Amino acid sequence: MISLRFRPTALLASLVLATGVAHAGEIRVMCYQDGVECDVTAEQAKRFEAANPGTKVIIDTVPYKSIVEQLPVQLAAGQGPDIARVTDLGGLSKYYLDISAHVKDRKYWDTNFGATAGWLRPSATDKGIYGFMSQLTMTGPYVNKTLFEQAKVPMPGAKATWDEWVDATRKVAKATETKGAMAWDRSGHRFAGPAISYGAKVFDAQGNAVIDDGYKATVAKFVGWHKDGSMLKEVWAGSGGSTYADSIGEFINGNVVMVLSGSWQINRLQRDVANKFDWVAVPNPCGPAACSGIPGGAAWVALKTSKSPKEAGAFLDFMASEAVYSEFTGKTNNIPAHSGLASKGVPYPGAQPAARAALGVFSSGVANLAPAAYQFQGYKFNRAIMLPTVTRVTQAIVGEMGTDEAVSKINADMQDAIKQAQK
């Protein structure tokens, strides 16, 4: 069974990791980056240090895997940095530090970050400030436009279904002798958008997580696409358990026509694809119920392990200020989670035409997000759904079990994980 409880293991022997140990008088920031987020933060930290003599900010850049797998172990053992950039927003919320007393203008935070503040709070009635979303993200597809042009296959339109995209990309892959037609990131988070589009409610009327017929239909579709060769098998079948794997690497290398990933990859695509081929972001394909991705993003959060809570709060207050936040968003090619900047717009000085167009596609796609997508992202135990989905669907893909058994085990694993997490 998959459990959300992190038990002390051999990992505790290396708890210090790349982040070291936080000491009074300095701020250690554990950061991962999809593109240049940590690099930009390090530049901004120098300005904060200049304005706050005696305070040292250390940006520890680590792989995303360290954030997902090792940071929770650190925190459970009472060790960790002052600040971290995290994506398991609700799951780690019990470790967050309330910095309300250390921000200059509470109204500014409520006005500009109020829409997503609840994602970081440990309970619905809590009013604390624990950090802020460094950006909004949305899951969605990227397409190799050059391959479509070479194959002389028309690209499906804005309201096209997943079936229509599978058919089109298979034709392109065949005509261009490309290794794969389609791939999705090996992630239960990425899987959730199509599942909701295919009618998965995800939650019942009481707000309890459920694996219903819509979710089952998506599992059957996805496994079937692997069986008939529509999906590049290496992404999901190339790893075991619930380990994350992205599809962007295969896309950048020209091995797949279309991938399902997300807006956070724009900067990486701009940098790594360069002039190899033309790529575009396209709206999320439709199922019978919706055409939805999943909203989300990474958050800067203060942590109870901080030995410098006042300084940590001050640094987050600095990073959340409109001018600094706008600079971060513009340089990293991200969608702002700051409502004021979302209205005004953000300049993207380094964005090339493809990146600018992709930012527009993702920004406009926010309007098509299903209500269940927001509920899923804000659900404290969403990893109880995501992790067993990856494990069991992979087992069905490689033939270890049938689709029905996989769905049954996802449900059992999910229920067990939620019970364990609530203890």
The whole-angstrom separation of Cα 89 and Cα 196 is 20
Q: Examine the pLDDT at 5 and tell me if it is beyond 60.
A: no
Closest CA to 96 of 82, 109, 108, 106: 82
Name which of 101, 33, 36, 108 is nearest 64 in CA terms. Answer: 33
Phi, psi of 388, rounded to the nearest 5 degrees: -65, -25
CATH 3.40.190.10 positions along the chain are 26-136+297-359, 137-295+369-422
What digits encode the pLDDT tens for the residues 140-190?
999 999 999 999 999 999 899 999 999 999 999 999 999 999 999 999 999
Beta strands in 54-155 (DSSP E): 56-61, 83-86, 131-133, 137-144
Nearest alpha carbon to residue 159 among 365, 372, 358, 335:
365
Tokens of 208: 């309890």
pLDDT tens-digit readout, 329-388: 999 999 999 989 988 888 888 899 999 999 989 988 888 899 999 889 888 899 999 999
Q: Using the structure block, give the residue that is written with the tokens 């949305």.
A: 138
Q: Which CA distances in Å does 313 have to 60, 81, 110, 187, 308?
A: 18, 13, 16, 32, 9
Amino acid sitting at position 207: G
pTM over 0.85: no
The mean per-residue pLDDT over the stretch 8-13 comes to 38
pLDDT over 90 at 115, yes or no: no
Percent with pLDDT over 70 in the chain: 94
Q: What DSSP state is assigned to residue 257?
A: E
**CA–CA separation, 348 vs 323, rounded Å?**
14
What integer best gives the mean pLDDT of the chain?
92
Tell whether the model's pLDDT for residue 326 goes beyond 90. Answer: yes
Residues 6 or more apart from 170 whose CB is under 8 A from it? Answer: 181, 229, 230
Question: Is residue 306 predicted with pLDDT exceeding 80?
Answer: yes
- Cα distances (Å, whole numbers) of residue 71 to 30, 89, 162, 232, 316: 9, 13, 36, 31, 19
pLDDT tens figures, 204-221:
999 999 999 999 999 999
Give per-residue pLDDT as tens, 230-288: 999 999 999 999 999 999 999 999 999 999 999 999 989 999 998 999 999 999 999 99
Reduced to 3 states (helix: H, G, I; strand: E, B; else coil), residue 261 is: strand
Q: How far apart are alpha carbons 145 and 180 in whole angstroms?
A: 15
pLDDT, greater one: 254 or 90: 254
**Does residue 328 register a pLDDT over 90?**
yes
pLDDT of residue 266: 92
Report, in angstroms and rounded to the nearest whole number, the Rg of the chain calculated over CA atoms.
Answer: 21
Superfamily of domain 137-295+369-422 in CATH is Periplasmic binding protein-like II (3.40.190.10)
Distances (CA, A) of 136 to 20, 231, 295, 302: 29, 28, 7, 19
Q: Give residue 343's pLDDT.
A: 82
Q: What is the CATH number of domain 26-136+297-359?
A: 3.40.190.10
